[in-house]
Structure 1
Amino acid sequence: MSLKLPINIHNIKGFLAAREGEALYHLAAEASSLGPSLEVGSYCGKSTIYLASACKLTDRVLFAVDHHRGSEEHQPGEEYHDPDLFDKNTQLMDSFRTFRENIRAAHLENWVVPIVAPSAVAARCWNTPLGLVFIDGGHSLEAAMTDYRSWSRHIVPGGYLAIHDIFPDPADGGQAPYEIYKMALASAQFELVEMVDTLGILRRI
């Protein structure tokens, strides 16, 4: 399947490598026969555009969960802080306006359902079975564990769990995504399909 993106993805702020984005696109297209997709951690919409472009092919929707206040590393004084996303009026990081602009520019508003809330709050009353869950939220152990426990249980048999920023070697990056990746495999509910750079793709058994 050829990749069909409605916008120049390289102009979108984000930390997703092109190979990882393409893998998500193909994964969402495959998972669409099983149910809607959901991502945790949208930031400015780079992964959202990859996923929603594939969902559009079968008229499925992507639920995009993010409080849009940034993770720990996005805060002032931290390594990945972006002053352009800092709201001086509220003195808070806010990526939602940029996210909406990018989704609108990509003509994907009819296939993206933004859920502007912390992951645990959004999941509190969630009952919709999901064909794909992509976890790329906060990288503290507590945040990653919350995302995994909140959403993995909603994946249908045969559906997919994708986890970003998996670094087995601590020298390469934070360990929280790697910890939930190991937890998923140890649960015997998921099996590894493939690794694409730092993106782990698992299937629910």
Structure 2
Amino acid sequence: MSISLPVDIHSIKGFLAAHEGEALYHLAAEASGSGACLEVGSYCGKSTIYMATACKLMNGLLYAVDHHRGSEEHQRGEEYHDPDLYDEGARLMDSFRTFRRNIRAANLEDWVVPIVASSAVAARYWNTPLSLVFIDGGHSREAAITDYRCWARHIVPGGYLAIHDIFPDPNDGGQAPYEIYKLALASAQFELVEMVDTLGILRRV
């Protein structure tokens, strides 16, 4: 299945490599035929556009969970702070306006349900089975484990769990995504399908 995206994906702010985005597209195209997809950590919508474009093709739906206040590394004075996404009036980082603009420009508003909340809040009364969960939220240990515990249990048998920024070597990057990747495998509920760059794709058995 060839990829045809509705916008210039390279113009969208984000940290997802092209090969990883293409893998998410194909994964969402397969999974959305069996139920809803969900991502944690939308930022400005790069991963959302990859996944929702596939959902649109399959008449599926993507829930996009993000509080849009940024992770630790996005705050003022931190390595990945972007002043264009800082709300001077509120004195807070806010990526939601940019996210909405990008999703509208991609004509994907009917296939994306933004949930502006943390994982813990969004998942509190969640009951919808999910065919795909993509975790790319906060990279602190607490945030990553919370994301995993909130959403992995809602994945249907045969559904997928995708985790971004997996670095087995601590010299290459933070360890929190790798920790939840190991937790998923140790649970015996998930098996590894493939690794695409730093994107781990697992299937619920």
Per the alignment, residue 125 of structure 2 pairs with 125
| TM-score of the pair, normalised by structure 2 | 1.00
CA distance in 2, matches of 1:95, 1:2: 30
Q: Does 1:30 align with 2:22?
A: no
Q: Secondary structure of 1:171's partner? A: coil
CA distance in 1, matches of 2:146, 2:52: 24
Q: CA deviation at 1:176?
A: 0.1
Deviations 1:122-152 (A, max 9, x none): 0000000000000000000000000000000
1:35-74 matches, within 5 Å, as: 35-74=35-74
Q: 1:35, 1:72 → 2: CA distance?
A: 32
Query: Counterpart of 2:76?
Result: 76
Residue correspondences, number:
205
Q: Which runs of 5+ in 1 are unaligned?
A: none
Aligned partners of 1:118, 1:106: CA distance in 2, in Å?
Answer: 25
Structure 1 residue 34, shift from structure 2 partner: 1.6
Q: Match of 1:2, as an amino acid?
A: S
Give, in whole Å, the separation in 1 of the partners of 2:139 and 2:78: 13
Match of 1:144 in 2: 144
What residue is the counterpart of 2:203 in the other structure?
203
1:6 counterpart = 2:15: no
- Which residue pairs with 1:115 in the alignment? 115
Q: 2: CA distance between counterparts of 1:164 and 1:175?
A: 11
- Partner of 2:47, secondary structure, is helix
The CA deviation at 1:103 is 0.1
* Residue of structure 1 equivalent to 2:173: 173
1:160 is matched with which residue?
160
Structure-2 residue corresponding to 1:16: 16
In 1: Cα distance, 2:120 partner to 2:55 partner:
24
Where does structure 2 lack aligned partners over 5 or more consecutive residues? none
CA distance in 2, matches of 1:101, 1:33: 27
Q: Quick one: which amino acid aligns to residue 119 of structure 2? A: S
Partner deviation per Cα, 1:67-96 (whole Å, 9 max, x = no partner): 000000000000000000000000000000
Supply the distance in 2 between the matched residues of 1:92 and 1:141 (Cα, whole angstroms). Answer: 22
Moved over 4 A (4+): none
Query: What is the CA–CA distance in structure 2 between the aligned matches of 1:161 and 1:4, rounded to whole Å?
Result: 24
Deviation at 1:59? 1.0
Query: Structure 1, residues 25-71: CA drift from partner, whole Å, max 9, x if none?
Result: 00000001221100000000000000000000111110000000000
Determine what percentage of the aligned residue pairs are the same residue.
82
Partners in 1 of 2:108 and 2:202 — Cα distance?
26
User: Secondary structure of 1:38's partner?
Assistant: strand
Partner of 2:101: 101
* TM-score using structure 1 length: 1.00
Residue type at the aligned position of 1:162 = A
CA RMSD in angstroms, aligned pairs only:
0.4
SS where residue 147 of structure 2 aligns?
Answer: helix
* Alpha-carbon distance in 2 for matches of 1:29, 1:157: 17
Which residue is equivalent to 2:191?
191
How many Å separate the matches in 1 of 2:161 and 2:27? Answer: 10
